[in-house]
Structure 1
Amino acid sequence: MTIQAHDPRLLPNPCGKSSCVSGGKAAILYGSLCLLALGSGGVKGALPPLGADQFDKRDPREAKALGSYFNYLLFSTTIGAAIGVTVIVWQLGFWCLDSGSPSTASSRRGRAPFSGLSRLSLYHSKTGRCHSPRLLKNCMRSMKRNHFLRRKKISHTNQFRCLDKAAILQEEAKPTSWKVCTVTQVEEVKVLTRMLPIIASTILMNTCMAQLQTFSVQQGNRMGRLLGSFEVPAPSIPVIPLAFMAVLIPIYEFIFVPFARKLTGHPSGITQLQRVGVGLVLSAVSMAVAALVEVKRRNQSIKSPLEPISLFWLSFQYGIFGIADMFTLVGLLEFFYKEAPACMRSLSTSFTWISLSLGYFLSSVFIDIINSVTKRLAPSKQGWLHGQDLDKNHLDLFYWFLSILSCLNFFNYLYWASWYKYKTEEPKMEPMIRFKEGSPVEGLSRNSTNGGPSVEDKKEDAKEEKEQVGEAQ
C-alpha cells in the first residue's frame, strides 16, 4: 500500500468511481488489503486469549483480575488506534519489537476445537431412540472418563435435548471415540449453539459503527474543522470516539466496577451479557443523536454555507457510541472466553471480530437496499443516499432507521440473553443422581460414591483411552 501510494504510475485515475481501479492496480490494492486483514485478524484473534491464559481461574484474585485484563486490553488498543489516526512514529515499532521477552505461559495442546462438533453431528445422524437406563449408565461412565482424563466436566442442561442422544451408547456397541460422545462433549456443542443468537444480536451494532465511521468523515468535510489555528484533518475524525474511550475506560475500571461489585457481588460488577445489553441500548441512543446532529448540520449548511457548525458537534454521537463500544466489546470478549469450551478459548474470542466483520458487510447491504427502496417511493425518484452531496441527501432519516432497528434488535437480544444459561463446571466427580436399589445403574452409582469405580470399569476406561490415543496417532 505504501509503494502504491508513493508511485504515481500505480495510482488510479482521479475519476472518483470504483471502476477507475482495474487491472494490476486493483490487484495490488486488494491484495494489500487482504494481507492487512490476515495480519490484523491473527493479532486480534490471538492476543485476547494469550493474555487471558496468564490468569489462573482457580485463584479468586486472579479470576477477578481477568475482567480487568480485558478492560486494559481495550484501553491499549484504543491508545494505539488514536496514535494511528493522528501521528505515526515508525521508529517506535522497532523499539517495541526489540523490548519483548519470552515470559508468557501457554496452555497444553488439546484436542481439535471442532472435533466434538463433528463427532456429535455424526452420532446424531446415526443414533436412534434408546432406553433411558442405558443413557444414564453412559452419562455416569462419561463422568468417570472425564475425571480419568483430567478434563473439566460441564453439568448437563435440558436445552437442546435432541443432542443428548449423541451420548447414548447403543446396545452391544463398542464405546470408541467416534461412536459415542461424553456428556461434556455434548454440552460443549450446546454452549456453542447457545452463543449463536448472542453473536447475531451484536451484528447490527457493528453496522451502526461502520456507518458512523463512514459518513462522519463526509460530514466533517462540510463542518468547521478549526481548533484554534490548527485545522483537524478529516481522516483524523475517528480520534474523537477513541479519546472518549481512553478517558472512560479507566473511569469504568476504577470507579464503576468497584461500586457495582458492592451492589451485585459479581467480580466484574455486572455480568457479561448485562454489559453487552448496556452497549446495545447506547448504540441506539447514539444513532438518534447522530440524526439530530445531521439535521442541525444540514440546516446550517444550506442557510449559511460559509459558516458551518463546528466539527465537535460529532463528539456527542461519537462519545455515546464510544461508551457503547466499551461495554459491548469487552463484554463479548470476556463472555466468549469464559463460556467457550476449554479447547476453543483461543478461537472463541474471534467470534467478536466475526460479528464486527459481518456488521461491516451488512452496512453495505443496508445502503443498497435503502437506496433502491426509497428511490421507488420518493417523489424525486432519488434515494436517501444517492450522491456525494450530503446536503441533498437524507442521512438523518437513515440514522433514524438504524436507531429504530437497533431498538428492535435490543428487545431481540433481551430474549436470547434471558434464555441463555451460563455453563457450570463441576469441581467434584460425584454423581448428581441417586438411584434406588435394584435400578439398572444402581451398582454403578454405588461404585462411584463408595471407593470409586470398580476394577472392570477401570479396565474399560483404560481400554477406551488406549483406543482414543491410537486414533489420535
Structure 2
Amino acid sequence: MSSENEEYVDWRGKKMDPKRHGGIRVAALACVVEVLENMVFLCNASNFVAYFLKSMHYSAAESSNMVTNFMGTSFLLTIVGGFICDSYLTAFTTFIFSCILELLGLILLTIQAENPNLRPGMNTGPSEYQAAILYIGLYAMASGVGGIKASLPTHGADQLDRGNQRLISAFFNWFFFSLVMGGMIASTVMIWVEENKGWNWSFKISIVVLILALLIFTIGGPFYRNKIPGGSPLTRIFQILASAIKNRKASAPERQLEQTSSHSNPKRDGKYHFKFLDKALIDGSINSVEVEETRTFLGLLPIFGSTIMMNCCLAQLQTFSVVQGSIMNKALHGFQIPTQSLVVIPQLIMLASVPFYERFVRVLGDTQPQTTKFFHPLRRIGLGLALASASMAIAAVVEVKRRGAAENHVTLSVFWLLWQYLLLSFSDFLTLGGMFEFFYSEAPNSMRSMSTALSWCSTSMGFFLSSVLVSITNSVTARLGHEWLGGVDLNHSRLELFYTLLCILNFINLINYIFWAKRY
C-alpha cells in the first residue's frame, strides 16, 4: 500500500481498500451535494436584503451590512471547519454535523416566517426577542455552512490520486460547475418561489433539499476514503514560530534537504523563503518536515490576502446591486424579472465554459504540453482580479446613467446591471476556481482542509471589508456634508462614487497580487 493510501481509512476506521474506496464516482457525489447545498445557501442569502427591508423593517444600509456580515461569517467559519477536519474529525463527520446545524437554523427561520407574532408589525422595527430569533437562526445557518464548505471540496478531492494534477484540477473545475448550478437554481426557481409564494415556502423547500443533500452524501459513506486527522497544525505552526523567535540570535543549522526532499513542494524549487524558520530546528522537538510544512503554509498567505479585495467587489451583487434593481424597470414583455435573476445569463455562460475549458485543456495538453502553463491557477486568479476592477468601473458608469434617467423621471431597464453581473461572475469563476486548485495542490498534507478553506475565508474577508468600507465611507462623507450611501433612497445617494473607490482599490490590489505571485 502506498504512503498516500496509508493516510486514509474507511468509514469504520480500518485501512482502506484502493479497489473499493475512493475514485471518481464517489468524488462526483461531492459535486452533486454541492449543487443542493449551494442552492439552499444562495437562495436565502441572495434575497435577504429584500427580506430584511420589507419583512423585518431594517434600513437599506443595515440590511446590506447584515447580509454581508452573515455571508462573511459563513465563509470565515470555513477556516474553523478546515481546522477541525485536519485536527480532530474526518471531513465526512464534519460535513454530517455541519449539515444538521444548518438544518436547525433553517427550521428556526421557517418558524419565524410562518408566525406573524415573531415578525414586526407595519412601520415598526423588530423587538429584541424577534431580532434574537432572526440572529440565532441566521448564525446557526452560518456555522453549518462554514463546516460544509470547508469539508466538502477537500473530501471530494481526497477521493482522487493527489499525484494526478490534471485530475485534481478537473475535479475543482467541476466542483465550481456545481456551485454555479446551485446558484442558477437559486436565482431562478427559488427566487420565483420567494417572490410569488413567500418566504415561508422558500424555507420549507430549503429544508427538504438540504435533507436530500444529507441523505445523498451519507449513502456514499461505505465507499469513501477518509483522511486520518493529524492533530492541530496550528499548534505546530505556533510552536515553530515561537522557537524561531526564541532562537533568532543563534546560528541556523544547515538545511537537511535529504529529509525534506520528499515532503517539500517541487513546484517551489528555488523559492526558498522564510529562512528564519530554520532556527526552529535548534530545538530537538521540531523536525525539518514540520518546518517545511510551516514554510509552505506561510507562503500561501500573501496570495490569500491579495484576493480579499476582489471579494469585496463581489459582495456588491448581494447588496447594492439588488437595491439598484429594485427601483429599475424589470419588465420584459409583461413579465417582471427579479433583479437577482440577472445573474442567470453569466451563470449559463459559465456552465457552458467549464466543459469547454476542460475539453480545450485536454486537447491542448495532448498536442502542446508546454502551453498549459497559461492555465496555471495563479494566472487564472490574476485575470479574475483584473475583471473585478473593470466591473466596478462599469458599475459606476451604469449608476451615473441610472441616476441621470431618474432625475428626468425615466426608469432605466434593469438589464443595464447585466454588465457588472457578467464581469463579476467571470471574475469569481477564475478567482475562486483558481484558489481551490492552488491551495489544495500546494498545501502541506497535514493542512489540506484548512488551506483549501482559505478560498472561502477570502470571500469572508471581502464581505466584511465591504461592510467596513460602507461604514467608513458614510462616516467620512457625512463630515464632508453628504453621505454617499446614507438613507433609504438610492436616488439621493452617490453609489457611483463608492463603485469608483472600489475600482481604484482593486486596481492597487491587482498590482500587489502580481508582486506576490511572481515571488511564489
Taking structure 2 as the reference length, the TM-score comes to 0.69
1:127 aligned to which of 235, 247, 264: 247
SS of match in other structure, 2:233: coil
User: Any idea what the Cα deviations from partners look like across 1:437-469, whole Å, max 9, x if unmatched?
Assistant: xxxxxxxxxxxxxxxxxxxxxxxxxxxxxxxxx
Q: What is the rounded CA distance, in whole Å, between the counterparts of 1:272 and 1:109 in structure 2? A: 27
Match of 2:494 in 1: 394
Structure 1, gaps ≥5 residues long: 170-174, 421-473
Alpha-carbon contact 1:205-1:406 (below 8 Å) kept: yes
Match of 1:85 in 2: 187
SS of match in other structure, 1:349: helix
User: Any idea what the Cα deviations from partners look like across 1:350-383, whole Å, max 9, x if unmatched?
Assistant: 1111111111111111112112222333xxx211
User: Any idea what the Cα deviations from partners look like across 1:326-369, whole Å, max 9, x if unmatched?
Assistant: 00001111111111111000111111111111111111111121
Q: What is the rounded CA distance, in whole Å, between the counterparts of 2:179 and 2:517 in structure 1? A: 28
Alpha-carbon contact 1:279-1:326 (below 8 Å) kept: yes
Residue 57 to residue 95, structure 1, CA distance change in 2 (3 Å): closer
Residue 130 to residue 375, structure 1, CA distance change in 2 (3 Å): closer
Q: One-letter code of the match for 1:280?
A: L
The offset of 1:152, in angstroms, is 2.9
Alpha-carbon contact 2:380-2:434 (below 8 Å) kept: yes
Structure 2, gaps ≥5 residues long: 1-108, 191-204
SS of match in other structure, 2:162: coil
- The alignment of Structure 1 onto Structure 2 pairs a total of residues equal to 391
Q: One-letter code of the match for 1:36?
A: M
1:320 aligned to which of 393, 401, 423: 423
**What's the RMSD between the two structures over aligned residues?**
2.6
Match of 2:171 in 1: 69
Match of 2:234 in 1: 114
Alpha-carbon contact 1:241-1:321 (below 8 Å) kept: no
User: Which protein has the larger Cα radius of gyration, Structure 1 or Structure 2?
Assistant: 1
User: Any idea what the Cα deviations from partners look like across 1:2-29, whole Å, max 9, x if unmatched?
Assistant: 111111100024447xxx2342111111
Q: What is the rounded CA distance, in whole Å, between the counterparts of 2:504 and 2:365 in structure 1? A: 30
Match of 1:346 in 2: 449
The offset of 1:407, in angstroms, is 0.7
SS of match in other structure, 2:378: helix
Residue 57 to residue 97, structure 1, CA distance change in 2 (3 Å): closer
Q: What is the rounded CA distance, in whole Å, between the counterparts of 1:344 and 1:309 in structure 2? A: 50
SS of match in other structure, 2:487: coil
User: Any idea what the Cα deviations from partners look like across 1:234-272, whole Å, max 9, x if unmatched?
Assistant: 454454543443233333333367548866636575211
SS of match in other structure, 2:226: coil
Q: What is the rounded CA distance, in whole Å, between the counterparts of 2:220 and 2:500 in structure 1? A: 50
Residue 219 to residue 153, structure 1, CA distance change in 2 (3 Å): closer
Alpha-carbon contact 1:248-1:323 (below 8 Å) kept: no
- Share of identical aligned residues, percent? 39
* 1:175-190 to 2 correspondences below 5 Å: 175=284, 177=285, 181-190=286-295
Match of 2:513 in 1: 413
Could you tell which deviates more after superposition, 102-111 or 280-289?
A: 102-111
Alpha-carbon contact 1:206-1:360 (below 8 Å) kept: yes
Q: What is the rounded CA distance, in whole Å, between the counterparts of 2:485 and 2:123 in structure 1? A: 19
1:356 aligned to which of 459, 469, 481: 459
Tell whether 2:485 aligns with 1:385: yes
User: Any idea what the Cα deviations from partners look like across 1:185-228, whole Å, max 9, x if unmatched?
Assistant: 11221222222221111111111111232111111112221232
Match of 1:45 in 2: 150
Tell whether 2:353 aligns with 1:278: no
Residue 361 to residue 98, structure 1, CA distance change in 2 (3 Å): closer
Could you tell which deviates more after superposition, 97-106 or 334-343?
A: 97-106
Alpha-carbon contact 1:210-1:363 (below 8 Å) kept: yes
Q: One-letter code of the match for 1:83?
A: I
Residue 389 to residue 160, structure 1, CA distance change in 2 (3 Å): same
The offset of 1:52, in angstroms, is 1.0
Could you tell which deviates more after superposition, 27-36 or 382-391?
A: 382-391
The offset of 1:393, in angstroms, is 1.5
Taking structure 1 as the reference length, the TM-score comes to 0.76
User: Any idea what the Cα deviations from partners look like across 1:61-114, whole Å, max 9, x if unmatched?
Assistant: x42121111111111111112212332456555555544333222223434322
Alpha-carbon contact 1:67-1:268 (below 8 Å) kept: no
Higher relative contact order (CA 8 A, sep 6+): 2
Match of 2:439 in 1: 336
Match of 2:323 in 1: 218
SS of match in other structure, 1:152: coil
Q: One-letter code of the match for 2:498?
A: F
Residue 12 to residue 341, structure 1, CA distance change in 2 (3 Å): same
Q: What is the rounded CA distance, in whole Å, between the counterparts of 1:96 and 1:128 in structure 2? A: 51
User: Any idea what the Cα deviations from partners look like across 1:114-153, whole Å, max 9, x if unmatched?
Assistant: 2431321342243355556xx23xx44x845x69xxx734
SS of match in other structure, 1:47: helix
Match of 1:101 in 2: 220
SS of match in other structure, 1:159: coil
